[in-house]
Structure 1
Amino acid sequence: MMFPLAVLCIFYIWSQATPTGGLGSTPDAMPRKTVPASSNGGHLFREEGVWNYTTMLLREDFNMLILGAREAIFALDLDDITVKKAMVNWPVTRKEQNDCLYKGKDATNECRNYIRILHKRNDDRMYVCGTKAFIPTCDYMSYADGSLTLEGKQEDGKGKCPFDPFQRYTSEMVDGVLYSATSLNFRGSEPIMMRSSEESIRTEFSSTWLNEPNFIHMAHIREGESNPDGDDDKIYLFFSETAVEYDSYTKMDVSRVARVCKGDLGGQRTLQRKWTSFLKARLDCPVPNNNLPLLVQDVFHLCPGDWTTCMFYAVFTPQLDSSQYSAVCAYKIEDIKTVFSKGKFKAPVTVETSFVKWVMYSGDVPDPRPGACIDKHARDMGLTKTLDLPDKTLQFIKDKPLMDQAVTALGDKPLLVKRGPAFTRIVVSTATALDGTSHQVMFIGTKSGSVLKAVNYDGEMVIMEEIQLFGASEPVKILRLSNSKLYVGSNVGVVQLSINECGRYRTCLDCVLARDPYCGWDLSAGQCSTINGTHRTSTVIQSLSSGDASQCPQKDDSESVSISFFGGNTVKLWCQPYSNLAQVEWQLNGHPVKASNAFQILSDSLMIFNASADASGRYTCSSVEGNYKTQHVAYDLKMWSVSETTALLHNVKEKENTLVAMLVLLSLILAMLVIWNLYKGHFPSPFCHWRVKDTNNRREQSLPPEHKIASSTVNLNSNNNHVNNQRYSSSGETDRLATTIGSSGQVTLKYIDDESEI
């Protein structure tokens, strides 16, 4: 009984510690537009027999997207990914597959080579690694003369690339050196963050450092540039792991951010060839009414200016299936830096001889500060590299790498919380509006194969679109941005999208109410256009903060449709609003239609039950979004009367009689034509044809030898009732021969000396 109570207490404490302030959007936030896969305007690339398109490298210098899949690497045109420039296969051998199968893995799916690492090197070559049937292997690849080439210099990929193709991992190439976070062994029980170089360095194999982690993202931030403290560059690592700091008898995971210093060389005696700067802190993304913390699934970092402007955007999902909320939180790099450089540490304390409890450390902190990079303060102490750090500082960080304070989200609340399919990936682009202001547009992949396009306006989150790209069972596995294009990968293919598809907004009202920072209504062109530097505020309408469309010209887009119905039937009038946020409003003869036993108002139609003469009249359908109303369609509805029905049946009968008469006349004409052609011999029967040939043969046999024709077969021409010209030679002179058939069926052969006789 004590275990469940302890778990409930932890959940209660967590929920009480969670801020309950306002959210960037309500959990039921709805995308303004839903774009089906059939009309998303994207380019799809897929290769027959190839799966798992989940690794990408943008090579703008080659104008190519390097795409890693299962046992294949592609070079695609960045402007149109359906154009395949090159491809190279990297399969496993039969022996490698058999060895993998012998170790208990699935030969069909697991024992293959999944491309997991693609990075550009300083020499323009690429570094590529694959799982290689649970024997991670790396190689060098180059592109030249329209071909991708693996150099065959295969290297051990342990610690760089995961063994398991379905295990999360991350890596980053920094100045030609690979930093990676994955597992070092076959079973996945030795997680590490490692730098692969001559001074190879990694984390400790300790649950205090990494406890069953799920690695998510790695980012290199050049904090050493123009830093007044002479600090070093940092490598930030985002992951989730099983928490050690909570008193719980059940497993509870939390999200983390860790960081190390680029120039870390490890310690002299303590932490030899281990990170001396590894620190980690909890990443907080508070969602009200959620008992367990959400877990980070992807991170995108954006630096509009120098490193101090860097922001990390992260997507979070619940760790229990019972919750349906996903969230996006943003973090300032200054806030993360403050936690690591000035925050308190947590320390393990043994309680009751066996139980370890983590509490805030309140003792003395060694100098230089544990986990700090070699900065100006350290150099003033005569410490020029981590090998010079005292053992007291190193032992402290070895035992206590966890910070007591969590990194809080920007504004202490999520930017976006949404119910529905879980978020999977995120990228963020900066859009410059018509007034010159900058806005961060988020593209969020989901587990149902779609991408959300959203932007935050002063705390108000607007989801402009949900674009369906793949089937509902195909999650988005990777997102990449290049200029104005978005590349979306899944197990079944890759889709290229334009991030500023303004053509989807058909009217001025639709364009302005979308509040899309990329788009504005061009009055001179009469269309929704992409905002660029040439547009002037006098000719383009855009209102992002409030969606003010009052400047839009008034236009009635409704179409009048006449419909008649039979009494007692059910009538359905269609009306599809241009926005999911618009409310449908119906009127009958200028008066509002209210739901009743006779009328049912649906989101896209009006149902009229047991329609009678009272249902006749003029119906208009309008969309109401915000303070704006647009009429879409008008119906003139009337019931069929007895006289109209009689007239209709009479008209139908007259048309039927006319049609029958025409068919009879056409049949008679056709019969006469057939008889005439048979009479003239245009359509000879097989019997007549045999008689012609037989008579011709007998006639030829009766002719003198010098008058016999060369061929005994006469080929009748059905077009002119003449045989084909047959040629023979007599006394060096060629004569033409014509064949005619008399009424008695006899064939008459005669010489034709005059052209007029032909």
Structure 2
Amino acid sequence: MMFLLAVLCVLYVWSPVTWTGGLGSTPNTIPRKTVPIKSNGGRLFREEGIWNYTTMLLREDLNMLILGAREAIFALDLDDITVKKAMVKWPVTTKEQKECANKGKDATNDCKNYIRILHKRNDDRMYVCGTKAFIPTCDYMSYADGNLILEDKQEDGKGKCPFDPSQRYTSEMVDGVLYSATSLNFRGSEPVMMRSSEEPIRTEFSSTWLNEPNFIHMAHIREGESNPEGDDDKIYLFFSETAVEYDSYTKVDVSRVARVCKGDLGGQRTLQRKWTSFLKARLDCPVPINNVHLLVQDVFHSCPSDWTTCMFYAVFTPQLDSSQYSAVCAYKIEDIKTVFSKGKFKAPVTVETSFVKWVMYSGEIPDPRPGACIDNHARELHFTKSLELPDKTLQFVKEKPLMDQAVKASGDKPLLVKKGPAFTRIVVATTTALDGTSHQVMFIGTKSGSVLKAVNYDGEMVIMEEIQLFESSQPVKILRLSNTKRYHELTVIQSLSVGDANLCPKPDNSKSVSISFFHGNTVKLWCQPYSNLAQVQWHLNGKLIEASNSFQILSDSLMIFNSSADASGHYTCSSVERNYTTQHIAYDLKMWSASGTTALLHDVKEKENTLVAVVVVLSLILAMLVIWNMYRGHLPLPFCHRRVQDTCEEGPYVNQPQERKLASTTVNLNSNNNHMNDQRFSSSREMDRLSTTVGSSGQISLKYIDDESEI
């Protein structure tokens, strides 16, 4: 499988676009450029016998990509991922595989070690975890002297790494401590968000906290470094789960964001070794054409400066196959923070002794606020750590971790909505235009194996390119954004704000293609537009061509039917996009005339006569050479085995007084035993440079000598 290891951030030269009208939010957005798989310039890494390349770690400090696969880990050169710098195998044992199969799992596929976690530690080592035949295991790995080395300090990976290789999970290494969201048991029925410190802390095993979740993304935001309220760092978790708050006969899945505080130590009695700060809220990504909730598939977070500038970009797909629309929504960290710190809570209410209905809680809220981190307000109340929080606060958050208000998308609308193959992954880069303004460039992976490159300008989104990376049956499963591997195109001209293309270099349109046609034939002139959004315009002798019985204008060509002398002339093809015209190609058409045809036939006849004359002369020369060689004895007559002094003899040997009996089967024409005089031999050698070999039967064969040293 091929992977996009680092998406390169650059805006290429494009035809100008007027950034109005909300093009980016229309569901039928068409990419300006389509780059097929054969011309995308991508690099492919594949190792014989290795499958499931599903985990990546960018080690830009080592200029390497660490790639986790099934029972193997690779170190690839970031400049060229086809170069394997190191490899280490981590297979399961026969015993582990057998025990896994005895538990009902597929021994060939499930009962292997799938590398699912790769993180860089502060000490420059790496933390790696694998499924290990449904016995999750972690180890430490280093790179030294050109080798990847597993230290064989295997640790229990339960709660860190999934048991099932097909299960979604997420994790984050924060100051040397692993935060993870996965399942804690073999069956996958105990989902947890967990911190693997010396005293691990996790979520409750309750559907109120996590209800059949699908974990997507985890992000550490260093809020505590500059928060004026003395608040703590946060770890945000994005996932989807079966909703508990909707009245429905069928299960309804929704998208969520949850968060915990980095300094959370759990409660003293209530929520002992459980999060006291776990709160969750629904993510809203409104798409008017869908009546069902979209589910989050991937999230990328970017913080241009401090934590207050952090944005979360999320891709959503429908949970029903009947809908074909995907979307991208962005969320400001301030909006998420406001929902958790100031929003209302939802509470379960029992109806008719059995049915539970979730409604907005309107009662008294304890102080300190349930789910809040230890901040300046808590310290004023003499609470310096979560172990000191009152049971009233802890019991509230244990029962009611769900917020009533949803987190709304920035601008209350998606950045992009598109019909077609579902979105799978996203990374976002920031680029600077010539006027110094910053713009977000989104790279969106799709289920059809392509990556969309979309540019955001003042909230409007345009898909600049669709780059096909894989075959259509292979979805994009991982995207990583490199901060060091970028193009440096100093000649790029960008005019994002007004779409002014006057500075763009003009193409060379001085050359035309000459074409002749016969009367009454159909002529097809090709012209591929520069952009999928451009319209093709054709001109004949400077006059615009319109569709008629004689002309049909196609997206990539012009058809001329029943062509006559009127079709002759100078044709030009241009692309027109947003009132900007670029000429592509020009044709000069002329019809064959009778005189021109006669002249052509006359030329052909003359060439045929010349060719016949040459063949005759060459045949005569060849015949003369054959006769001359037969006369000189270099070639045998059809009825003789050998000619010596104009006589014919039988047998392989010749016994003449003038010539010694041959002692070998090869006649040396350069030997003094040869009775031919030097002058005759010299001219013969220069004429045809032949050597003669006598076979065991007395037959003489000829061979051509290329090198004079053989004579």
- Give aligned pairs, total: 655
Within 1, Cα distance between the matches of 2:658 and 2:149?
Answer: 78
Q: CA RMSD in A?
A: 2.7
Work out whether 1:92 is the aligned partner of 2:43. Answer: no
Within 2, Cα distance between the matches of 1:104 and 1:667?
Answer: 84
Within 2, Cα distance between the matches of 1:689 and 1:251?
Answer: 104
- Please report how far the alpha carbon of residue 108 of structure 1 lies from its aligned counterpart in structure 2 after TM superposition: 3.6
- The answer for the alignment partner of 2:674 in structure 1 is 739
Q: Secondary structure at the match of 1:631?
A: strand
- The answer for the alignment partner of 1:590 in structure 2 is 542
Within 5 Å, give how 1:33-52 maps onto structure 2: 33-52=33-52
TM-score w.r.t. structure 2 length? 0.87
- Please report how far the alpha carbon of residue 701 of structure 1 lies from its aligned counterpart in structure 2 after TM superposition: 12
Larger RCO, structure (CA 8 Å, separation 6 or more)? 2
1:716 partner letter:
V
Within 2, Cα distance between the matches of 1:154 and 1:28?
Answer: 51
- Please report how far the alpha carbon of residue 444 of structure 1 lies from its aligned counterpart in structure 2 after TM superposition: 1.0
Within 5 Å, give how 1:137-176 maps onto structure 2: 137-176=137-176
1:443 partner letter:
F
- Please report how far the alpha carbon of residue 698 of structure 1 lies from its aligned counterpart in structure 2 after TM superposition: 9.0
- Please report how far the alpha carbon of residue 195 of structure 1 lies from its aligned counterpart in structure 2 after TM superposition: 0.9
Q: Secondary structure at the match of 1:45?
A: coil
Q: Secondary structure at the match of 2:82?
A: coil
Within 2, Cα distance between the matches of 1:158 and 1:684?
Answer: 92
1:638 partner letter:
K
Identity of aligned residues (%): 82
Within 2, Cα distance between the matches of 1:105 and 1:559?
Answer: 68
Work out whether 1:131 is the aligned partner of 2:131. Answer: yes
Do the aligned partners of 2:22 and 2:460 also contact (CA within 8 Å) in 1? no
- The answer for the alignment partner of 1:712 in structure 2 is 663
Do the aligned partners of 1:23 and 1:414 also contact (CA within 8 Å) in 2? no
Instruction: Tell me: CA distance 1:151–1:692, structure 2 relative to 1, closer, same or farther (3 Å).
Output: farther
- Please report how far the alpha carbon of residue 391 of structure 1 lies from its aligned counterpart in structure 2 after TM superposition: 1.1
Do the aligned partners of 1:23 and 1:413 also contact (CA within 8 Å) in 2? no
Q: Secondary structure at the match of 2:122?
A: coil
- The answer for the alignment partner of 1:280 in structure 2 is 280
Do the aligned partners of 1:693 and 1:713 also contact (CA within 8 Å) in 2? no
- Please report how far the alpha carbon of residue 79 of structure 1 lies from its aligned counterpart in structure 2 after TM superposition: 1.8
Query: In structure 2, which of residues 526, 529, 545 is the aligned counterpart of residue 577 of structure 1?
Result: 529
Within 2, Cα distance between the matches of 1:619 and 1:543?
Answer: 31
Q: Tell me whether 244-253 or 587-596 shows the greater mean CA deviation.
A: 587-596
Do the aligned partners of 1:556 and 1:630 also contact (CA within 8 Å) in 2? no
- Please report how far the alpha carbon of residue 461 of structure 1 lies from its aligned counterpart in structure 2 after TM superposition: 0.9
Instruction: Tell me: CA distance 1:197–1:555, structure 2 relative to 1, closer, same or farther (3 Å).
Output: closer
Within 5 Å, give how 1:41-120 maps onto structure 2: 41-120=41-120
Deviations 1:392-432 (A, max 9, x none): 11111111000001111111111111111111111111212
Within 2, Cα distance between the matches of 1:679 and 1:88?
Answer: 78
Do the aligned partners of 2:183 and 2:191 also contact (CA within 8 Å) in 1? yes
Instruction: Tell me: CA distance 1:474–1:698, structure 2 relative to 1, closer, same or farther (3 Å).
Output: farther
Instruction: Tell me: CA distance 1:113–1:695, structure 2 relative to 1, closer, same or farther (3 Å).
Output: same
Instruction: Tell me: CA distance 1:678–1:435, structure 2 relative to 1, closer, same or farther (3 Å).
Output: farther
Within 2, Cα distance between the matches of 1:697 and 1:89?
Answer: 79
- The answer for the alignment partner of 1:562 in structure 2 is 514
Within 2, Cα distance between the matches of 1:140 and 1:700?
Answer: 94
TM-score w.r.t. structure 1 length? 0.81
Within 5 Å, give how 1:290-309 maps onto structure 2: 290-309=290-309
- Please report how far the alpha carbon of residue 234 of structure 1 lies from its aligned counterpart in structure 2 after TM superposition: 0.8
- Please report how far the alpha carbon of residue 61 of structure 1 lies from its aligned counterpart in structure 2 after TM superposition: 1.8
Instruction: Tell me: CA distance 1:226–1:577, structure 2 relative to 1, closer, same or farther (3 Å).
Output: same
- The answer for the alignment partner of 2:605 in structure 1 is 653
Within 2, Cα distance between the matches of 1:692 and 1:55?
Answer: 84
Q: Secondary structure at the match of 2:110?
A: coil
- Please report how far the alpha carbon of residue 125 of structure 1 lies from its aligned counterpart in structure 2 after TM superposition: 1.1
- Please report how far the alpha carbon of residue 557 of structure 1 lies from its aligned counterpart in structure 2 after TM superposition: 2.7
- The answer for the alignment partner of 2:15 in structure 1 is none
- Please report how far the alpha carbon of residue 375 of structure 1 lies from its aligned counterpart in structure 2 after TM superposition: 1.4
1:410 partner letter:
S
- The answer for the alignment partner of 1:251 in structure 2 is 251
2:532 partner letter:
N
Q: Secondary structure at the match of 2:377?
A: helix
Instruction: Tell me: CA distance 1:664–1:225, structure 2 relative to 1, closer, same or farther (3 Å).
Output: same
1:186 partner letter:
F
Within 5 Å, give how 1:6-25 maps onto structure 2: 24-25=24-25
Instruction: Tell me: CA distance 1:679–1:244, structure 2 relative to 1, closer, same or farther (3 Å).
Output: farther
Q: Tell me whether 169-178 or 156-165 shows the greater mean CA deviation.
A: 156-165
Within 1, Cα distance between the matches of 2:365 and 2:292?
Answer: 32
2:306 partner letter:
D
Work out whether 1:620 is the aligned partner of 2:594. Answer: no
Do the aligned partners of 1:696 and 1:712 also contact (CA within 8 Å) in 2? no
- Please report how far the alpha carbon of residue 519 of structure 1 lies from its aligned counterpart in structure 2 after TM superposition: 5.9
- Please report how far the alpha carbon of residue 321 of structure 1 lies from its aligned counterpart in structure 2 after TM superposition: 1.5
Instruction: Tell me: CA distance 1:237–1:701, structure 2 relative to 1, closer, same or farther (3 Å).
Output: same
- The answer for the alignment partner of 1:491 in structure 2 is none
Q: Secondary structure at the match of 1:81?
A: strand
Do the aligned partners of 2:24 and 2:463 also contact (CA within 8 Å) in 1? no
- The answer for the alignment partner of 1:722 in structure 2 is 670
Within 2, Cα distance between the matches of 1:202 and 1:71?
Answer: 29
Instruction: Tell me: CA distance 1:318–1:697, structure 2 relative to 1, closer, same or farther (3 Å).
Output: farther
Instruction: Tell me: CA distance 1:673–1:97, structure 2 relative to 1, closer, same or farther (3 Å).
Output: farther
- The answer for the alignment partner of 1:319 in structure 2 is 319
Unaligned runs of 5+ in 2: 1-20, 681-691, 695-710
- Please report how far the alpha carbon of residue 687 of structure 1 lies from its aligned counterpart in structure 2 after TM superposition: 4.1
Do the aligned partners of 2:336 and 2:407 also contact (CA within 8 Å) in 1? yes
Do the aligned partners of 2:117 and 2:130 also contact (CA within 8 Å) in 1? yes
Within 2, Cα distance between the matches of 1:519 and 1:582?
Answer: 25
- The answer for the alignment partner of 1:608 in structure 2 is 560
Do the aligned partners of 1:24 and 1:414 also contact (CA within 8 Å) in 2? no
Query: In structure 1, which of residues 546, 550, 553 is the aligned counterpart of residue 502 of structure 2?
Result: 550
Within 1, Cα distance between the matches of 2:636 and 2:132?
Answer: 76
